[in-house]
Amino acid sequence: MIRPKALKKGDTIGLISASGATPPEKLQPAIASIEKLGLKVVVGETCHARHGYLAGADDVRAADVHRMFGDPTIDGIFCIRGGYGATKILAQLDFELIRANPKVFAGYSDVTALHIAFQQLCGFVTYHTPMPSTEFIRQEMDDYTWQSFRQQIMDNDKTSFYLENPSNQPMSTLVSGNATGQLIGGNLTLITASLGTPYEIDTRGKILFLEDVDETQQRVDRMLTQLKLAGKFDDAAGILLGAWTNCGPENLQRPEHSLSLHMIFQEILVPLGKPIIAEMACGHCLPTMSLPLGRTISMDADNQRIHVIE
């Protein structure tokens, strides 16, 4: 697995959206937030475009991805936001072009579709990180989140380090044990949507990270059940669970008619007997951890230790 060259001050970032349209009032603040890191910004066409809920038509979004990977003056690529639409452009992407030009590629949520494709079809590490128009511009974007982001994209030449929660947010153990494997995953909805397609996630011998937002407990149950029936948990070496933001009962008036996320995890995941660490500060939350997807990690579930290794 190729690890793209770390970014440094003075490097140029290609800013794109492969998914949803960017609210116009958020574009300039997003650019300024990247420039504060000492990076230059080239704004892709998709940051200005709108096609309904998409950041331009499918061919426009695919072309922006190609432009940023193919341009030798672009050192890294940040997705300005998530939303919906990355899956729609997968069949239009030139993976040979992308494979020949590995660069820091950062984003999360809907961007999960691209993370999976770039790791499996292009063979390079990508980064599950907060994004310029959704987190960078928020006043509550905290020091922990910034430090974790910079550690991954501007100090990613380290051969060994730990992925740690903020000191006041302990992780927890659902199933004890140890595992080593390639870190993969991201948003549960996007991972489930990959099943049955040419871009289906490969979990064999890997450590699967999952998070989601605005999905009811019943939908989380359904998606985890689908992954289980597809054998994706049987194939995995271990499981990491991040934030489940606004993932509550479908009927807020009768929460007793739902199953808590803890019960869902206990019923679907725990019987697998795979090491599981829960409550990672990562996903649609602040503070949030950035992850080097594609790197090899070792997990010690008993002590909630996640070690990125060479």
33 is catalytic: no
Q: What are phi and psi of 106, to 5 degrees?
A: -130, 140
Residue in 17, 135, 148, 211 annotated catalytic: 211
d(CA 54, CA 259): 34
Residue in 17, 19, 33, 109 annotated catalytic: 109
Residue in 133, 279, 284, 290 annotated catalytic: 284
d(CA 27, CA 133): 7
Q: With CA atoms as reference, report the closest residue to 266 among 255, 282, 278.
A: 278
Residue with tokens 């949507």: 193
Surface-to-core class of residue 7, CB atoms within 10 Å of its CB (0-12 exposed, 13-18 middle, 19+ buried): buried
d(CA 244, CA 298): 23
d(CA 119, CA 113): 10
What contacts 23, CB < 8 A, 6 or more positions away?
A: 133
260 is catalytic: no
**Which residue type occupies 200?**
E
Active-site residue list: 109, 211, 284
